[in-house]
Amino acid sequence: MSASEPPGASEQAVVRPIAVDDLGSSQVTVVQDTPHGALAVGISAGKPFALSNRCRHLYAELGKGRVTDDGCLECPWHRALYDVGSGKMVRGPQGYSNPWPAPSRPQPGLAR
Ligand code: FES
């Protein structure tokens, strides 16, 4: 720490800002190496949010999911939904792997 730095400044991680335009149609992305670890960062109903990047179910990266029309964050693997305000899971896993975006035709062996 130099004399001109505030206490603790040299220990803080540098977090790169994300432009809203860089979020794409999913409206969420992963930001690595924050002081809280990797985060799922996005926009829901015009408001920014940041949640843990790991789904409670099988630890998929939530930042690779999408924000739904009703403003929840949807897990990319089994479509669990998270309230972006509280971080609570509001809908559990939907029973099968559903890569996002969904395949255009049914995959052999997967019940729909
Ligand atoms: S890993 Fe997220 S719902 Fe399964």
Please work out whether the CB of residue 82 comes within 6 Å of at least one atom of ligand 1: no
The yes-or-no verdict on residue 1 having pLDDT over 50 is no
Find out whether 38 and 28 touch, Cβ atoms under 8 Å. no
| Nearest residue to 110 via CA among 100, 101, 98 | 98
> How many independent structural domains does the chain possess?
1
**pLDDT tens by residue, 7-26:** 544 556 666 778 988 899 99
Q: What is the pTM of this model?
A: 0.75
Q: CA-CA distances (angstroms) from residue 97 to 32, 60, 70, 94?
A: 25, 11, 22, 8
Asked if residue 35 belongs to a domain, the reply is yes
Geometric angle at alpha carbon 54, from 16 and 38, rounded to 5°: 20
Ligand 1, pocket-test mutation among 52, 54, 78, most atoms within 8 A of CB: 78
Asked if residue 48 belongs to a domain, the reply is yes
CA of 97 to the centre of ligand 1 (A): 8
Asked if residue 97 belongs to a domain, the reply is no
Nearest-atom index, ligand 1, CA of 59: 1
**pLDDT tens by residue, 53-111:** 999 999 999 999 999 999 999 999 999 999 999 999 999 999 866 555 555 555 566 55
